[in-house]
Chains A and B, each alone.
Chain A
Amino acid sequence: MKYVDEFRDRALAEKLSAAIHAEADPARDYNFMEFCGGHTHAIFRYGVQDLVPANVHFIHGPGCPVCILPIRRLDDAIELAEMPGAILCSYGDMLRVPGSKRRSLMSAKADGADVRMVYSTLDALAIARANPDRQVVFLGIGFETTTPPSALAIRQAADEGLENFSVFCNHVLTPAAIRHILDAPEIDPEQAVRLDGFLGPSHVSTVIGSKPYEFLAEKYAKPVVIAGFEPLDVMQSVLMLIRQVNDGRVAVENQYTRVVTREGNAKAQELVDDVFELRPTFEWRGLGWMADSALAIRDKYARFDAEKRFPISEKTAREVKSCECPAILRGVKKPKDCKLFGKVCTPENPMGSCMVSSEGACAAYWTYRRAETLAEMALEAAE
């Protein structure tokens, strides 16, 4: 595959690995947070950890859209799916996530709700056109990457006068979450996680550019490298971060120059701005309520807003007790620190969101490094 295989080349990986080993100072640790679940997935799928020294640590951040959707919102989605005559359209990896009482969209489907997996918002629009007597709700989730397609669908529905289409908007914003993680120690010192730099979310930056991360360097003195998702992208970005740390520099650098610019995609930004506005506050699974961290549909498109269009009951929902997802999502703990990991919590029987999404940290450890993780856990238990 052109433009893919080049970034998975063994010889180049060995060269980068040698450079990282040569430049990483053995007298210190390097703690780099990859915000994106996509990076977590790439690191584990290709075994990038095996090619960097043991003192370079990957701290997994909250950047998996499936992981951070709170149970309450998922329950709302299930409730929308169960409205008589409704069709709920969702991206595939949302379907298995358990909400309250371990019910998921998949189990709602098994109980008779019309839940359909779609690959794009345009598929959901097509379903709405084909079913004029049904209400089609698209479950909009994800970061800045998946927001423009939702905006486009709403605009298109408005242009066509499509009366039976709406979006249940759960789109969230990355800079707010990163800020929250860095502010956490000030609020609660126990939540402190030592971070020496960030692997920046590159697909997000294809839309918003690298500029929105400059506050990390300016205000928090944290180096950032906007990193592509191929294993060699990740390795090169790690090398760039190590160099910044070693040189005492703090900057936003862009490794993913083949796609990302400082300003991002102006057209997509305008589209999003036309359809969405900031929510004053929004709950993130694991991180709690955060100001200015999510988007809502503007009033002018209210008829395409499932929250305004349909009554959704107020409800409370609780996480599974002793699940460490919140601390894992903030990078404070690792999956092996959770008592449930691998015992009662597995991808077949997930207790928390980090295990259910293939991009969640727990699922990544379970799926790709189970042998090592279980051995470490046994060792720690023996101590």
Chain B
Amino acid sequence: MTALEPLGKARFRADERVTMSHGGGARAMADLIRKVFAHHFANPLLDQHHDVARLDRPEGRIVVSTDGHVISPLFFPGGDIGSLAVHGTLNDVAMGGARPVALTAGFIIEEGFPLADLDRIAASMGEAARKAGVPIATGDTKVVERGKGDGVFITTTGIGVVPDGVEISPERIAPGQAILLSGPIGDHGVAILSARQGLEFGTSIVSDSAALHRMAADMIAAAPDIALLRDPTRGGLSATLNELVEGTRHGMLIDERAIPVRPEVASACELLGLDPLHIANEGKLVCICDAVDADRVLAAMHAHPEGAGAALIGHVTAEQPGFVRMTTRIGGMRVVDWLSGEQLPRIC
């Protein structure tokens, strides 16, 4: 899988497309892997030329997390499915309090998919992994017949190590703890909507897709006793918080005015009749920690570009167990619920 093509030499024709033979295990597949994936992902683990990646035994406990990425459109303002597949899994590992060690990547590609687009996605993945300092250690490629896929699906698995003494778990959430949010919500979901066919609208909003493991490590260093970290991806902030209170003996009370939302995101949501609390994020995290640690953790978040907009948005309560409630902008009170089904724009 080594042998990068010399710079300047075209690795494939501009109009070349993925064919069934690229998934057939023959020379075409080896070529595809060499010219696209190995070219962009190159690292010592991958270069072992083995079906497995051999990792040194780390100190601490191992965590593993896997995530399938299916997104339309594949390219959107601020990212693409490739960088998203890296960030999403790194963040899942980091939310377990772990330092990510390696990633794996599985590709399901639809016959006829332009090789140039695949190359762009692989380049973006390679760059995201390099920036994060986490190698893509091994992978897999399959090709499905035209019409049986949607361009490209990517599954990534992340392996990480949790340092001793760190116990991040929903079971440690308790009344009185502070709820912190690392920045404005809804950027990713609105960026995707703005690029979706039939709905293209002009906006300066770009996806917040980012790797959060370095910020998470600094937060843990500032307050090793953090109870919980979670990235509010699909279902948005409301789903994340509801997941954490459902079936428990505590509730949450958040303040609408404290939740950061960019004006452009708020406007787009108004226009479409959507609630920013339900919109997906790909570069934000929620942290629950003891109230006395809140300022220290916030300072650690503010020190990173990904946490520049971090804010204290509420507290865990003993009242109304199982419910997330919110003091509204005008001073009323309401339940913040799970999204039911898909979020659909209102008629009027």
Could you list which residues of chain A lie within 8 angstroms of chain B, going by C-beta atoms?
A: 1, 4, 8-10, 13-14, 17, 38, 41, 44-51, 65-66, 91-96, 106, 117-119, 123, 141-143, 145-146, 203, 231-232, 346-348, 358-359, 363, 366-371
B199 surroundings in chain A (CB, below 8 A): 119
Give the top 9 A-B pairs by smallest Cβ distance, nearest first.
A47-B332, A347-B340, A92-B344, A13-B330, A50-B332, A368-B334, A92-B345, A367-B337, A46-B328
Question: B202 interface residue, CB < 8 Å from A?
Answer: no
Cross-chain contact A143 with B348 (CB below 8 angstroms): yes
A44: nearest chain-B partner, CB-CB:
B334
**Contacts A1-B270, A348-B340, A368-B335; A10 near B330 (Cβ below 8 A):** yes
Q: Is B257 an interface residue (CB 8 A)?
A: yes
Q: Please, which residues of chain B bring their CB within 8 A of the CB of A348?
A: 340-341
State A91–B325 Cα separation when bound (angstroms): 30
Chain A residues within 8 Å of B320, by CB: 371
Taking the complex as formed, is B267 at the interface, i.e. its CB lies under 8 A from any CB of chain A? yes
Known contacts A4-B270, A93-B344, A94-B347; A232 and B330 CB within 8 A of each other: yes
- B266 touches A (CB below 8 Å): yes
Contacts of A232 in B (CB 8 A): 330
Interface hits, B300-338 → A, CB 8 Å:
320, 323, 325, 328-335, 337
**Are A51 and B331 in contact, with the CB atoms below 8 A?**
yes
**C-alpha spacing A329/B329, complex, angstroms:** 28
| Contact status A93-B334, CB under 8 Å | no
Q: In angstroms, how far is the closest chain B Cβ from the Cβ of A43?
A: 9
Interface membership of B147, Cβ < 8 A? no
Residue of B nearest to A13 (CB): B330
B165 at the interface (CB under 8 A from A): no
By a CB distance below 8 angstroms, the chain A residues around B6 are: none
Interface check B198, CB cutoff 8 A = yes
Closest to B319 in A: A371
Contact present for B348 and A46 (CB under 8 Å): no
Q: A47-B334, A145-B348, A371-B323 are in contact. List 19 more A-B contacts (CB 8 A).
A: A8-B329, A8-B330, A10-B330, A38-B346, A44-B334, A46-B328, A46-B334, A47-B332, A48-B330, A48-B332, A50-B332, A50-B333, A65-B347, A91-B345, A93-B344, A106-B341, A119-B272, A231-B330, A232-B330
Nearest chain A CB to B265's CB is how many angstroms away? 11
**CB-CB contacts below 8 Å: B1-28 with A:** none
Which of B335, B342, B345, B347 is the most central at the interface, judged by chain A CB atoms within 10 Å of its CB?
B347
Q: Provide the residues of chain A in CB contact with B347, threshold 8 Å.
A: 65-66, 91-94, 141-142, 146
For chain B, the count of residues having a C-beta within 8 Å of the partner chain is 28
A13, B328: Cα distance in complex, Å: 11
Interface of chain A: mostly helix, strand, loop or mixed: helix
CB distance from B62 to the nearest CB of A (A): 36
Measured between C-beta atoms, what is the minimum distance from A382 to chain B in Å? Answer: 19
Q: Enumerate 12 A-B pairs (CB-CB under 8 Å) in ascending A order.
A: A9-B330, A17-B331, A47-B332, A65-B348, A93-B344, A95-B344, A118-B198, A119-B272, A123-B198, A142-B348, A231-B330, A369-B335
Instruction: Give the chain A neighbours of B270 by CB distance below 8 A.
Output: 1, 4
A336–chain B nearest beta-carbon distance, Å: 15
* Complex alpha-carbon distance, A348 and B341, angstroms: 7
B7–chain A nearest beta-carbon distance, Å:
43
Closest residue to B330 on the A side, CB-wise? A13
Q: How far is the CA of A8 from the CA of B85 in the complex (A)?
A: 38
Q: Could you say which residues of chain A place their CB within 8 Å of the CB of B323?
A: 370-371
**From residue B183, how far is it (CB to closest CB) to chain A in Å?**
19
Give chain B residues whose Cβ lies under 8 Å from the Cβ of A367: 335, 337, 340
Give B113 Cβ to nearest chain A Cβ, in Å.
23
Q: Is the CB of A369 within 8 A of B334?
A: yes
Name the residue of chain A whose CB is nearest to the CB of B256. A46
Within the complex, the shortest CB–CB distance from A131 to chain B, in Å, comes to: 13
| Distance to closest chain A CB from B238 (angstroms) | 10
Give complex CA distance A346, B338 in Å.
12
Closest to A91 in B: B347
Residue of A117, A123, A203 touching B344 (CB-CB under 8 A): A117
List chain A residues, Cβ under 8 A from B257.
Answer: 10
B331 touches A10 (CB 8 A): yes
CB of B340 to closest CB in A, whole Å: 3
A358 to B346, CA, bound (A): 8
